[in-house]
Homo-oligomer: A and B are copies of this chain.
Amino acid sequence: MYAVLAGGVGASRFLQGLVQVVDPTEVTIISNTADDVEMFGLHVSPDTDIVIYALAGAVNPETGWGLAGDTFAVVDQLQRFGYPRWFNLGDRDLAMAIHRTRLLREGVPMHEIVQELARAWDLEVHMLPMTDTPVRTRILGPEGEIPFQEYMVRMRTGVEVRGVEFEGAEQAQPAPGVLEALAEAKAVIIAPSNPFVSIGPILAVPGIREVLEQTQATRIAISPIIAGEVVKGPAGKMLASLGHDVSAVGVARIYRGLVDVMIIDEQDRALAPEIEALGMRCIVTDTIMSDDGKKAALARVTVEASEGGHA
């Protein structure tokens, strides 16, 4: 069994590779739900949906999120009622939010909803939200707190990040199955996602970090930072403004004590000794997942690393 801590676009690309090289029914995805947002009265789970759409082969390949070929009639029309247009939710994407919202209102717990949505898209992987209760990422900017989607979508990350908070995390509990998956997995993989706002909230749910520290699984992280830059998203800017090295070493330091193996890109080969000095194995490979073959190759290296055992 493989347990994967997953954010959005980076994680979804890695998972597209993983299901090519292992039996998807042996993969449990633990999805970040801290960037969930209520828009137009509907519950939207961006990271979960990105992963589902990617594994269903339905994701918009140009953006990495949303559905390929989607239309935007509803959000266009919602402007008539005073809603802002910055949250670009497609019509078919919105159908998922409508269904999720209905189930939530009926009291169905989020872990059942996520599994139902994954089934509706014919996925064979197990999908779990990190928690059934609301956790919400807030960015601390120069002028105060900013809800995550506003920072990410409306402000297009164009604000200095002075801190990141996960509202509700302290009271949250891991969703049923999460701790078991981490404890019983052969490998726990931290996908190449933003360490602060994608993996951070998962680790902030009480119990998850502790199980990750104690599991007998091989714990492997893939650096989302390549040659000092991030492939997608604001991780680079966040590392810098929060005082970290914008490098695979900076990421490795954040995961120190939580991972046995760090996978970094060939362009960062020179950083390997510094990462190994932190007490983890360092594997150097091509981590740029620009096509299906490269996604599978990275997944294969990751799976092989898990044969190495716990450090």
Residues of chain A whose beta carbon lies under 8 Å from any beta carbon of chain B = 40-42, 70-71, 73-78, 80-83, 91-92, 94-96, 98-99, 101-102, 105, 116-117, 120-121
Contact = CB atoms under 8 A, between A and B. Distances in A.
A12 B98 CA distance: 29
- Number of copies of chain A assembled together: 2
Contacts of A105: 41
A78 B98 contact: yes
B99 A40 contact: yes
A91 B74 contact: yes
Contact of A99 (B73, B81, B94): B81
Nearest to A121: B80
A70, A75, A92, most chain B CB atoms within 10 A = A92
Given A41-B102, A75-B95, 19 more contacts: A40-B99, A40-B102, A41-B98, A41-B101, A41-B105, A70-B73, A71-B71, A73-B91, A74-B74, A74-B91, A74-B92, A74-B98, A76-B92, A77-B92, A78-B98, A80-B95, A81-B99, A81-B120, A91-B91
B101 A77 contact: no
Contacts of A75: 95
Contacts of A94: 74
Contact of A91 (B71, B83, B117, B120): B71
A101 B82 CA distance: 15
A42 B101 CA distance: 10
A95 B120 contact: no
A40 B91 CA distance: 14
